[in-house]
Amino acid sequence: MALTRDMKMRSAYAVVPAAFILGVISAALAAEVAAPPFYKLLPFDYPGPLIRVCRTEYGICLIPFTIVPGAPCECVTADGIWVHGVSIH
């Protein structure tokens, strides 16, 4: 069965909105799973997965994976104060 010009136009009108909607959804999901910046102090119950974590008395922060577990590390608070901790994983 050959597609007529009218059928091709209808399918194009369906594909464009679908592609737009998928793009918006994927951008929203990417924003939700974006990792926090390195060294920013986060609460202990931070919901996202973090590869390497520095644990302090006040919370945790994401640190580069090149820092080995057990090594000293630091996190920065919202006030710009650096607090000492230990890399735990």
Whether residue 20 is found in the same domain as residue 42: no
Q: What pLDDT shows up at residue 26? A: 56
Domain co-membership, 30 together with 41:
no
Contact 39, 63 (CB under 8 A): yes
Of 26 and 77, more confident = 77
Torsion angle defined by CA atoms of residues 20, 26, 27 and 32, in that order, rounded to the nearest 10 degrees: 150
Cα–Cα distances in angstroms (integers) from residue 50 to residues 8, 32, 87, in the given order: 47, 14, 12
pTM score: 0.63
- Higher-pLDDT residue of 85, 13: 85
pLDDT at 35: 86
Residue 24: is its pLDDT beyond 70?
A: no
82 three-state secondary structure? strand
Could you give the number of structural domains in the chain? 2
**In terms of residue numbers, what domain contains 1?**
1-34
